[in-house]
Amino acid sequence: MHRSLVVLTGIVALACSGAMVRAAATASPGPTPPSHVTPLSPAAQVGQKLFFDPSLSASGRMSCATCHDPQYAHAPPNALAVQLGGREMKSAGMRAVPSLRYQEYTPPYADVLDNPDGISAPGPGGGLTLDGRAPTLADQARIPLLARNEMANASPAAVVRRIKASSYAAQFKAAFGGQVFDTPERAFARALDALQAFQLEDPSFHPYTSKYDRYAANKIGGTLTAQEQRGFAVYNDPKRGNCFACHYNGAGIGGSVRLFTDYTYAAIGVPRNPDIAANHSPTHFDLGICGRPDHPLPGSREYCGEFKTPTLRNVATRRVFFHNGKMTSLRDVIRFYNTRDTNPELWYPIINGVVQKYDDLPAKYRKNIDPQPPLDSRPRGSQAAMSDQDMEDLEVFLRTLTDADVVSKIVDVR
């Protein structure tokens, strides 16, 4: 498997220079800004206004918070595989929307980065979005503001005109200078900086208030139950869950912080999702890294099908999973990992009695499929890596990664 991550230093300096994280938006207004105790900087205060402002979209109905709702761990508040946007709010996205929480240590993308576990070989890692094409928070915010199927602004100047006409235009000038609107390109860049500052400064984007955090810090209320402890053992067992191999939970990234991802990439053969409009064409495939303009084929074919490993924090509140939103429960995700190879008929279509395994990745790229347990190509019909009890215990453990403010959003399918 290709995976890696740079160990960051000088996080605060990097954040202030605008070289960290961010994400996209898509679908319809509603959320309101969360309250916080620590005062935000002037730039971050402007960023908060921008984040919750649907008037910045061509439809007038979509803000960043529409798809990154703080009440849902800054992820979508619905169970759609992809979100709707565009001028009429009818244009479908291409990928599932990720959460914006816990992005503060994401390094810029590189084809070869060291893995923090000190074991796995270096490989693709870092970057914002599921294919890593945005190196910084500012770069990433540009994408949804201008994408036709998201906020659908025709140009950066169109975004600036909307900001200039907003109720917080004076606040924008106070933060960035009275002449900031004289040059639309500069004003647009400052807007991206403001969105970045808000996400880096506001504690709601990285609260670290889960039961697991209390457990790891030996704080009151941080005792894991027997079943949660068993699930944690499954998580760390290379012969069963082997989750830690990609969702690294050790120290070394941001000091003692445990992020439950190493920001590396893998191709795991997620089944094709017919709910995505683009997939109605049999010739369309989302190829991950090798679909990026700066990684053209055939030179980048070794990366086809690889998508970034997300953090597992707040994973129990998610309603769709993987880059294409194919799975709709955490239980199914765990079961897919466990039985993709031993029982592929559970996940892939069957045509003329033949299971169409890896149906969302062209055959010529299937050699990129991750070979690590439990996705290790064990024979069909053989014993799966995890027992039913192991899978249940693992799911229970993963719920301990839920922040205190969104515990009520845990999706329980039992």
Residue 266 pairs with which residues in a beta bridge? 307
Q: Are 250 and 259 in contact (CB under 8 A)?
A: no
Give the list of residues 6+ apart from residue 207 with CB closer than 8 angstroms, or none.
Answer: 101, 403, 404, 405
Report H helices in 74-126.
Answer: none
What element of type H or E holds 14?
Answer: helix 11-16
**Residues 232-246: pLDDT tens digits?**
999 999 999 999 999
Q: Closest Cα partner for 377 from 341, 346, 347? A: 341
Q: Average pLDDT for residues 291-304, to the nearest whole number?
A: 96
Q: Are 243 and 375 in contact (CB under 8 A)?
A: no
Q: Are 396 and 227 in contact (CB under 8 A)?
A: yes
Farthest CA pair distance, the chain: 69
Q: Are 82 and 276 in contact (CB under 8 A)?
A: yes
Domain ranges of the chain: 11-205, 211-409
Residue 321 pairs with which residues in a beta bridge? 327
Report H helices in 35-111.
Answer: 42-51, 64-67
Q: Average pLDDT for residues 328-333, to the nearest whole number?
A: 98
Residue 7 per-residue DSSP state: P
**Residues 366-407: pLDDT tens digits?**
999 999 999 999 999 999 999 999 999 999 999 999 999 999
Q: Is the pLDDT of residue 80 over 50?
A: yes
Confidence band for 53, pLDDT divided at 50, 70 and 90? very high
Q: Are 44 and 127 in contact (CB under 8 A)?
A: no
Q: Average pLDDT for residues 209-227, to the nearest whole number?
A: 92
**pLDDT reported for residue 34:** 52
Q: Are 326 and 307 in contact (CB under 8 A)?
A: no
Distances (CA, A) of 13 to 18, 191, 200, 262: 9, 19, 12, 22
Give the list of residues 6+ apart from residue 308 with CB closer than 8 angstroms, or none.
Answer: 127, 129, 130, 131, 132, 263, 264, 265
Cα separation of 326 and 99, whole Å? 16
**pLDDT reported for residue 176:** 98
Looking up tokens 């953090």 gives 311
Cα separation of 355 and 187, whole Å? 54
Are 11-205 and 211-409 in the same CATH fold? yes
**pLDDT reported for residue 137:** 85
CATH (one of 3.40.50.620, 1.10.760.10, 3.40.50.850, 3.40.50.20) for 11-205: 1.10.760.10
Q: Is the pLDDT of residue 188 over 50?
A: yes
Instruction: Write the secondary structure of 337-393 as one string of H (helix), E (strand) and C (coil).
Output: HHHCCCCHHHCCCEECCEECCCCCCCHHHHHHECCCCCCCCCCCCCCCCCCHHHHHH
Residue 75's SS3 state is strand
Torsion of CA 216, 221, 226, 232, to 10 degrees: -30
Confidence band for 412, pLDDT divided at 50, 70 and 90? confident
Second CATH level (architecture) for the domain 211-409: Orthogonal Bundle (1.10)
**pLDDT reported for residue 250:** 75
